């Protein structure tokens, strides 16, 4: 797990606008949190969690209101491309949450108290392992005695587990959509 | 059943609802731009499916375009490729594009309303969080990610959970120096940047009823800065007068029939909201932000608050500011008047009225960026260009410009910029840039004085 003890992390921090010029989805991980990871002349900022070798893994743990601001899905692509599969926070911005789920990244919302417990567990055991069980909606950190249940709507859970895509679902609904158009006309 | 404005529009667009899941929401208008659409067009190609309703899509180039020499090829290779990709995609899929050089080109949230594409009672989406702007017309308008742009391309629908409803009522008399931007910065400062998350907001009360359409757009534009997907204002005669006669608005009898329907789009007396907030208009004063999120705002005459919170401390450190001090009279070096929040003709009239007969401070670089070609034309028609240029302001061509600094319009590291845009995030206007959000009049006054001034004290 990688701890990011900052609140209101906006998508401009996750991926700055100057890196949004690409026309495909690949390669954004390189510039994830660019201006927090590197100085303007490209030096590594050693005090930033992503640059600290004791923290590893596919789970980012972040402060309240993660992913606010711009709707750029590039933020989810950058997190995924870097290797994150789960983000834990006490609160997520709406658009980011949807974008993450549409890219196979699971946003797990926990209470502010539990978020502090998770940060404390990482402080105590920087390489602590967490297990995320989507099927049973459980977040388990055995070393710290943390066992939490998280919410996810059934439809999105089914999509994540089976790798389904909203577009495929909507295309199947085409007749209903055309009938809706007829009715309104 | 008594319904809110939001429910009336939402419910009439639900194709069906997935049990324990999202609604399939039908989308009337889909606006696209060069930055968040290319990957969505790729999805169509990968899945080998057509764009379902190209006539309901409108495209423009705005985020990543230069604001000088737009008649020349774009110098930056990646930007040039992104903009030309949009042209190719629109040609291949039959989408109406108002690209560079077109007389309708401009910031997507300026041209939609200006061309009459945006109309009351519609659902409208765009791959941009400030799509909330269009809510000023009593439209359900919200920003979506690129995967959802692809969904709309494929089906003219999005899968989306129905948000909760919030009403923000502001009643009373505004101070004459207070502008719509101050009203919305005040609300966000009071409620915080996440208060609206999960909600769709209706702005109500005489303050909004008395506001022009452009003022309403400024307010709804920043709904997302309090976390709300969108904000709406019930359409009224002001709305109908604005829409009438615009390029893509209904005409004649069709318009009359529409207006009859639009008149039904208001919240029923007694309809319930999940949350409600009331503010007294008389308490609002010209506002400015001091931190790195739009909720960190104060009345210009007030002190920066203090807090031990780590994120607050980090924010002030980035800004180079100290708690318990005043921003008033602080020197600034840059001013930006533009963005989808404040780049409409009324914004430039207000700025020009303040600037007329004065000179900008020699210590300030001041940039004026119109929201669209039509606004740019109007600026010239009204002679505002002469006021700006003789005062030493640089008047540029339309685009998003220094609001997000994707192009060359960047604020230098460490510099303070009074900006009429919507976000003061770290690095938003350039790496290390320090943004102070304010209204066009406050920005114009700062450019002239070379420091932060309170226009309500003048």
Q: Alpha helices, DSSP H only, in A4-149? A: 11-14, 34-37, 74-82, 94-101, 112-124
Measured CA to CA in angstroms, residue B123 lies from A22, B34, B132, B134 at distances of: 29, 21, 11, 10
What confidence score (pLDDT) does residue B246 get? 98
The proportion of chain A whose per-residue pLDDT surpasses 70, expressed as a percent, equals 100
CA distance B343 to B138: 21
Q: Is the per-residue pLDDT at B145 higher than 80?
A: yes
Residue B281 — φ and ψ, nearest 5°? Answer: -55, -35
Would you tell me how many other CB atoms lie within 10 Å of the CB of residue A165?
16
C-alpha distance from B20 to closest chain A C-alpha (Å):
6
Would the CB atoms of B151 and A95 count as touching at under 8 Å?
no
Specify the 3-state DSSP secondary structure of B163. Answer: coil
Q: Which tens digit of pLDDT belongs to each residue from A13-41? A: 999 999 999 999 999 999 999 999 999 99
CA distance A38 to A31: 9
pLDDT (tens digit, 9 = 90+) per residue, A69-101?
999 999 999 999 999 999 999 999 999 999 999
Q: Please tell me the distance from the alpha carbon of residue B339 to that of residue B263, in angstroms, as a whole number.
A: 31
- In the predicted model, what is the mean pLDDT of chain B? 97
Q: Which residues of A touch B431 (CB under 8 A)?
A: 16, 35, 40
pLDDT at B182: 98
Mutual angle of helices A94-101 and B146-155, in 10-degree steps: 70
Q: How far is the C-alpha of A161 from the C-alpha of B147, rounded, in Å?
A: 18
Interface of B with A in 161-180 (CB under 8 A): 161, 163
Cβ contacts of A180 on chain B, cutoff 8 Å: 15, 26
Q: pLDDT tens, B200-245?
A: 999 999 999 999 999 999 999 999 999 999 999 999 999 999 999 9
Structure tokens at A81: 């491309």
| pLDDT score for B231 | 98
**Touching check for B243 and chain A: CB below 8 Å?**
no
- Name chain B contacts of A6, Cβ cutoff 8 Å: 310-311, 314
Residue from the list A63, A103, A170 with its beta carbon closest to the beta carbon of B157: A170
Q: Which residues contact A122 (CB under 8 A, 6 or more apart)?
A: A1, A3, A55, A61, A128
Mutate to test the interface with A, among B147, B315, B403, B404 (most CBs of A within 10 A): B147
**Dihedral sign computed on CA atoms, order B133, B137, B141, B142:** positive
pLDDT per position as a tens digit, B341-385: 999 999 999 999 999 999 999 999 999 999 999 999 999 999 999
B286 close to B299: Cβ distance less than 8 angstroms: yes
pLDDT given at position A164? 85
Residue B284 phi/psi, 5-degree rounding, is -80, 140
Enumerate the residues of chain A whose CB falls inside 8 A of the CB of residue B188. none
The pLDDT value given to residue A163? 85
Helix-strand-coil split of chain B, %, nearest 5: 35, 20, 45
The pair of structure tokens assigned to B61 is 């180039």
Query: How remote is the C-alpha of A170 from its chain's centroid?
Result: 24
* pLDDT tens profile B76-87: 999 999 999 999
Establish, for the pair of chains A and B, how many residue pairs have beta carbons separated by less than 8 Å.
Answer: 181
Write out chain A residues lying below 8 Å of B78, CB-based: 21-22
Nearest alpha carbon to residue A74 among A55, A49, A102: A102
Model pLDDT, residue A87: 98
| Contact: B155, A91; criterion CB under 8 Å | no
- Given this model, what pLDDT does residue A165 score? 87
Residue listed under structure tokens 């995967």:
B147
Assess whether pLDDT exceeds 90 at residue B19.
no
Q: Report the number of secondary-structure helices (H) and strands (E) in chain A.
A: 8, 7
Say if B415 is an interface residue toward chain A (CB within 8 Å).
Answer: no
Confidence check: pLDDT of B440 > 90: yes
Asked if pLDDT for residue B177 goes beyond 90, the answer is yes
Give the residue on A whose Cα is nearest the Cα of B409. A18
What residues of A are in contact with residue B154 (Cβ under 8 Å)? Answer: 167, 170-171
Site of tokens 């000088």 = B68
DSSP run (H or E) holding B151: helix B146-155
**What's the pLDDT score for residue B355?**
97
Helices B345-355 and B440-449: angle between axes, nearest 10 degrees: 30
With CB atoms and an 8 Å threshold, state whether A95 touches B24. no
List, as one string, the DSSP characters of B310-354: HHHHHHHHHHT--TT-B-TT-B--EEEE-TTTS-SHHHHHHHHHH
Set of chain A residues whose Cβ sits within 8 Å of the Cβ of B147? 73, 99, 102-103, 166-167
Quick check: A20 and B423 CB within 8 A? no
CB B326 within 8 A of CB B353: no
d(CA A90, CA B409): 36
Beta bridge partners, B331, equal B451
Q: What is the pLDDT of residues A157-169, one digit of tens each?
A: 999 998 888 999 9
CB-nearest partner of A40 from B193, B406, B431: B431
Q: For the whole model, what pTM was predicted? A: 0.97
In this prediction, residue A185 carries a pLDDT of: 81
């Amino acid at each position: 797990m990688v701890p990011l003890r900052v609140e209101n992390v906006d998508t401009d921090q996750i991926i700055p606008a100057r890196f949004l010029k690409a026309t495909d989805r690949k390669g954004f991980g390189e510039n994830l949190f660019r201006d927090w990871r590197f100085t303007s002349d490209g030096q590594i900022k050693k005090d930033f969690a992503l640059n600290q070798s004791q923290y590893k893994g596919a789970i980012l743990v972040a402060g309240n209101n993660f992913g606010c601001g711009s709707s750029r899905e590039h933020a989810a692509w950058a997190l995924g491309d870097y290797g994150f599969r789960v983000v834990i926070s006490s609160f997520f911005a709406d658009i980011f949450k949807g974008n993450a789920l549409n890219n196979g990244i699971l946003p797990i919302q926990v209470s502010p108290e539990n978020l502090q417990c998770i940060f404390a567990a990482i402080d105590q055991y920087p390489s602590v392992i967490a297990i995320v069980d989507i099927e049973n909606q459980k977040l388990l950190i055995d070393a710290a005695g943390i066992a939490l249940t998280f919410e996810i709507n059934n439809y999105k859970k089914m999509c994540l587990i089976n790798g389904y895509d909203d577009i495929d679902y909507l295309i199947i609904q085409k007749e209903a959509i055309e009938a809706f158009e007829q009715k309104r006309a | 059943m008594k319904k809110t404005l939001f429910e009336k529009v939402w419910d009439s667009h639900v194709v069906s609802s997935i049990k324990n899941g999202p609604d399939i929401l039908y989308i009337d208008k889909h606006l696209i731009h060069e930055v968040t659409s290319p990957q969505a067009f790729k999805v169509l190609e990968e899945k080998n499916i057509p764009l379902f309703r190209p006539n309901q899509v409108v495209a423009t180039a705005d985020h990543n375009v230069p604001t000088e020499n737009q008649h020349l090829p774009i110098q930056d290779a990646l930007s040039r490729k992104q903009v030309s990709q949009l042209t190719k995609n629109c040609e291949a899929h039959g989408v109406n594009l108002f690209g560079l050089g077109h007389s309708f080109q401009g910031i997507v949230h300026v041209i939609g309303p200006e061309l009459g594409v945006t109309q009351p009672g519609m659902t409208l989406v765009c791959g941009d969080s400030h799509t909330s702007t269009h809510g000023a017309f009593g439209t359900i308008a919200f920003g979506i990610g690129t995967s959802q742009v692809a969904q709309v391309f494929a089906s003219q629908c999005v899968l989306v959970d129905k948000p909760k409803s919030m009403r923000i009522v502001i009643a009373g008399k505004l101070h004459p120096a207070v502008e719509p931007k101050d009203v919305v910065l005040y609300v966000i400062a009071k409620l915080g940047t996440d208060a609206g998350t999960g909600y769709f907001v209706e702005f109500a009360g005489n303050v909004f009823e008395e506001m022009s359409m452009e003022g309403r757009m400024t307010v709804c534009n920043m709904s997302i800065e309090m976390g709300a997907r969108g904000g709406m204002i019930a359409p009224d005669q002001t709305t109908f007068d604005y829409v009438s006669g615009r390029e893509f608005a209904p005409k004649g009898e069709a318009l009359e029939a529409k207006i009859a329907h639009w008149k039904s789009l208001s919240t029923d007396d007694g309809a319930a909201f999940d949350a409600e907030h009331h503010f007294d208009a008389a308490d609002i004063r010209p506002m400015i932000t001091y931190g790195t999120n739009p909720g960190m705002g104060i009345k210009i005459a007030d002190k920066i608050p203090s807090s031990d919170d780590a994120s607050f401390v980090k924010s002030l450190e980035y800004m180079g500011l100290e708690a318990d001090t005043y921003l008033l009279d602080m020197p600034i070096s840059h001013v930006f008047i533009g963005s989808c929040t404040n780049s409409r003709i009324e914004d430039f009239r207000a700025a020009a009225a303040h600037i007329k007969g004065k000179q900008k401070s020699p210590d300030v670089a001041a940039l004026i960026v119109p929201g669209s070609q039509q606004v740019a034309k109007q600026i010239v028609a009204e002679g505002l260009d002469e006021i700006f240029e003789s005062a030493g302001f640089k008047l540029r061509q339309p685009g998003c410009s220094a609001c997000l600094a994707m192009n060359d319009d960047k604020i230098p590291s460490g510099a303070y910029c009074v900006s009429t845009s919507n976000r003061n995030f770290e690095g938003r206007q350039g790496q290390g840039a320090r943004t102070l959000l304010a209204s066009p009049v406050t920005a114009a006054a700062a450019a002239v004085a070379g420091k932060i001034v309170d226009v309500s004290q003048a």
